[in-house]
Amino acid sequence: MKQLLTILLITISATVLDAQQLPYSQQMSQTAMNIWPDSFKIKPGIARWSYDQGVILKGIEGVWKLYGDGKYFNYIQHSMDFYVQEDGSIKDYKREEFNIDHTNNGKVVMLLYNVTGKEKYKKAIDLIRSQFNDHPRTKEGSFWHKKVYPWQVWLDGLYMGQPFYAEYAKLAGQDSVFDDIARQFINIERHTRDAKTGLLYHGWDESKTQKWANKETGCSPHFWGRALGWFGVALVDVLDHFPEDHPGRDSVIKILNRFAKAVTKVQDTKSGLWYDIVDLPNRPKNYPEASASSMLVYTLAKAVRKGYIPAAYFQHAKKGYAGIIREFIEVDKNGQTNLKGTVSVSGLGGNPYRDGSFDYYMSEPVVVNDPKGMGAFILASVEMEIAALPKPGNGKNVVLDNYFNNEWRKNGFGVNMRRHYTWDDTENGGFSLFGNIWQAYGANLGGLDVAPTAANLKKASVYIMVDPDGYKDTKKPNYMDEQSAAEISNWVKQGGVLLLMTNDTANCDLQHFNILSDKFGIHFSDRGRNMVKNNEFETGAVYNKNTNPVFTQTKKMYLKEISVLDLKAPATSVITQDADVIFATAAYGKGTVFAVGDPWLYNEYLDGRKIPADYENFTAANELVRWLLNKAATPVKTPAVKPKK
């Protein structure tokens, strides 16, 4: 893990590495981009709208968010644009087939809409979402796997549909949908969970008429590894979108805990892998399987990181990942990293008929670079690479001000949402990528939407204040005053870490905000600089030429329309350019203040899509986050303040 940590920190610091020195998530992503550069074809012929592609692209999404390289997002967009037309129609998507697999790529199109705001993506996700309105269901309300597989629910289907269903519901304010989602997870576990082992059978037939179905339970005969993997991924991914206070969330987490207990009992103790039929490792012809092992590693690692299951389960993820690397990863003579050991497909029923027997599962071909295995491996690698990073934020709460910066607007779904420098805002002006960085180093995220006090700051280890509102931003701005400034400065004096990021005087309220910053010897002046026109990026260049404790790797950053800082004791300059102070810090009592006159770490300047690659804002963000967390007080056990929406 120490070697992996070194590679990760170097990679995040934007140093060029040979292909085999790159983290495995990037190596496998590059393989996928080599095999499918333009559109997605598993077999010769036309490209098909296929859930397999969504598995790979969700993995690559994770790589983009962890490393900030825009080529990964661009590949995702290029891949989906082959299908999503300007009018929102989707090439080769057939809604009337009511195939739950066809909804999986909705997650990827949702990403594209959330980031770009393009209307064609909104129309496409509305089209996919509309399938759920008419999709056939069992009598108790679970989606059929396909129209051609009536009354059947497969574990696979929970992965294909539920996370997209949940994310759409979150953004559209459809709270009742979460009742439906929780019920579908509860129902399939109740029907397929084996009382003795805790494992879940691959499929369930409500009608009990299929040849593969047990006539009493309706379950298929075996515990298929990848089906369990699909279900695990579905659980941890759907929880990304569940409201914290929804009762169904606890139900899903309890299912996840039972699931983790069951699958780790059948993990091979020697190799760390899972077999294709997980409970029969010694049966002739059975074999360790790459996609199932990758999915289960991802499930366990992410569930531990999110706090859903006990931390002890991470050792199972670690052992499983080591086994995957040892048994399934190989580099060919051309330097391409390949994944062996994935079963190409396994299903139930159909024509020719698949009877769910052990012999049937063993009859399906095992291939190299199957997209389902590759996507699952990328997902697992991203989680393990996050886990390998230092965790100076463990137990620490990073609270974002939503009181002095309090802008709202309706999103594309007609729901009134906070915008502009907020954790949930995925568009150019949002802080979603900045939030991911804090979380990668172990921190909890929260928000404070009322005036700060000693009581409500007590739970914060780091308090971030960005772009205080003026009348241009909101009709009734909350201005900084002496009382709030005293509360915040006293909190810093007791050991708090304060991050101040304003804007130039034309774009935020500096007059009142300086009531606070002046207490630390930092004054946001009316003198602006880096007034960039269009894409004259060099005008926004800030160079790090001298040694400083914050930015040790970053050499060049991009900031535009910034307020120059005027300093007096106890403040000191971190970076000065042309005699203008750009970044400053102040030691104040037991606490620390960091200030800059620009909210420069918003998505547009972290995502690698706009600014040239020689501007190292993503590296700088990682360095700043680590520095601030290392300055922060001893971890607290209380949860972060949750933002209101």
**The pairing of beta strand 562-567 with beta strand 556-558:** unpaired
Nearest to 281 by CA among 358, 368, 214: 358
State mean pLDDT over 150-174.
Answer: 98
Task: Answer yes or no: is pLDDT of 38 > 90.
Answer: no
So what's the pLDDT on residue 65?
Answer: 98
Q: Which fold would CATH assign to domain 397-631?
A: Rossmann fold (3.40.50)
Q: State residue 46's pLDDT score.
A: 79
pLDDT at site 369: 98
Q: Exposed (0-12), middle (13-18) or buried (19+): which is 482, by Cβ within 10 Å? A: exposed
Which amino acid is located at 477 in the chain? P
Helix (H) or strand (E) holding 59, with range, is helix 51-67
Asked whether residue 644 carries a pLDDT value surpassing 60, the answer given is: no
Strands 462-466 and 497-501: parallel
362 Cβ contact partners less than 8 Å away, ≥ 6 residues apart: 276, 285, 286
**If 0-12 CB within 10 Å is exposed, 13-18 middle and 19+ buried, where does residue 382 land?**
buried
* pLDDT at res. 1: 57
Classify residue 579 as left (phi > 0), alpha (psi -120 to 50) or beta: left
Helix ranges (H only) for 329-447 are: 358-363, 371-388, 432-440
pLDDT on residue 16: 46
Ramachandran class of 589: left when φ > 0, alpha when ψ lies in -120 to 50, beta otherwise? left
CA distances from 558 to 79, 157, 619 (A): 29, 44, 12
Q: Is 205 strand, coil or helix?
A: strand
Q: Using CB atoms within 10 A of its CB, is residue 63 exposed (0-12), middle (13-18) or buried (19+)?
A: buried
Domain coordinates in residue numbering, the chain: 2-388, 397-631
User: Per-residue pLDDT for 4 more than 60?
Assistant: no
Per residue in 121-137, pLDDT (tens digit) is 999 999 999 999 999 99
**Residue 546: exposed, middle, or buried by beta-carbon count in 10 A (0-12, 13-18, 19+)?**
exposed
Question: Whole-angstrom Cα distance, residue 187 to residue 71?
Answer: 41
Handedness of CA 420, 425, 430, 435 (dihedral sign): positive
CA 105 vs. chain centroid, Å, equals: 16
What pLDDT shows up at residue 636?
47
What is the DSSP track for 126-193?
HHHHHHHHH--B-TTSPBPSBTTBTTEEEHHHHHHHHHHHHHHHHHHT-TTHHHHHHHHHHHHHHHHB
Residue whose C-alpha is closest to residue 615's, from 536, 533, 530, 541? 541
Rounded to whole angstroms, the Cα distance separating 383 from 299 reads 9
Please give the helix or strand (H or E) that residue 30 lies within, else none.
helix 24-35
Quote the CA–CA distance of 600 and 596 in Å, as a whole number: 9
How does 419-439 read in b/e, with b if 16+ C-beta sit within 10 Å?
bbbbbbbbbbbbbbbbbbbbb
**Residue 222: strand pairing partners:** none
Task: Decide: helix, strand or coil at residue 473.
Answer: coil
Residue 490 has pLDDT above 60, yes or no: yes
Cβ burial, residue 571 (10 Å; 0-12/13-18/19+): buried
- Specify whether the CB–CB gap between 540 and 530 falls below 8 A: yes
CA 20, 24, 25, 30 torsion-angle sign: positive
344-382, pLDDT tens digit by residue?
999 999 999 999 999 999 999 999 999 999 999 999 999
pLDDT tens across 224-245, in order? 999 999 999 999 999 999 999 9
2-388 shares its CATH topology with 397-631: no
Hey, what amino acid is at 590? Answer: K
Given a cut of 80, whether residue 639 has pLDDT beyond it is: no
Q: Give 556-559 contacts, CB < 8 A, sequence gap 24+.
A: 556/614, 556/615, 556/616, 557/600, 557/615, 557/616, 557/617, 557/620, 558/600, 558/605, 558/611, 558/615, 558/617, 559/530, 559/596, 559/598, 559/600
Strand partners, 592: 497, 587
Q: 242 near 252, Cβ under 8 Å?
A: yes
Average pLDDT, the chain: 95
Q: What is the CATH number of domain 2-388?
A: 1.50.10.10
Q: Which two tokens stand for residue 267?
A: 């993990």
One-character DSSP codes across 547-568: --SS-SS--EEE--SEEEEEE-
**Cβ neighbours around 537 below 10 Å, total:** 15
The CA distance from 394 to 443, in Å, is 6
pLDDT at 540: 97
What are 395-447's pLDDT values in tens digits?
999 999 999 999 999 999 999 999 999 999 999 999 999 999 999 999 999 99
| Choice among 32-41, 151-160, 309-318, 452-461 with the minimum mean pLDDT | 32-41
| pLDDT tens digit sequence for 540-580 | 999 999 899 999 999 999 999 999 999 999 999 999 999 99
Among 156, 180, 504, 566, the active-site one is 156
Residue 471 has a pLDDT of 79
Give the amino acid at 500. L
Q: Where do we find the tokens 């996840």?
A: 256
**For the chain, how far is it from start to end, CA to CA, in angstroms?**
39
Does residue 284 have a cis peptide bond before it, meaning omega lies within 30 degrees of 0? no
Note the pLDDT of residue 68. 98
CA dihedral (347, 348, 350, 352) in degrees, to 10, reads 80
Task: Note the pLDDT tens digit of each residue in 501-533.
Answer: 999 988 899 999 999 999 999 999 999 999 999
Q: Are 440 and 63 in contact (CB under 8 A)?
A: no
pLDDT at residue 15 tops 50: no
Task: Provide the whole-model pTM.
Answer: 0.95
237 a catalytic residue: no
What number of CA atoms fall less than 13 Å from residue 322's CA on the CB side? 14
Q: How many CA atoms lie within 13 A of 128 on its CB side?
A: 34
645 pLDDT more than 80: no
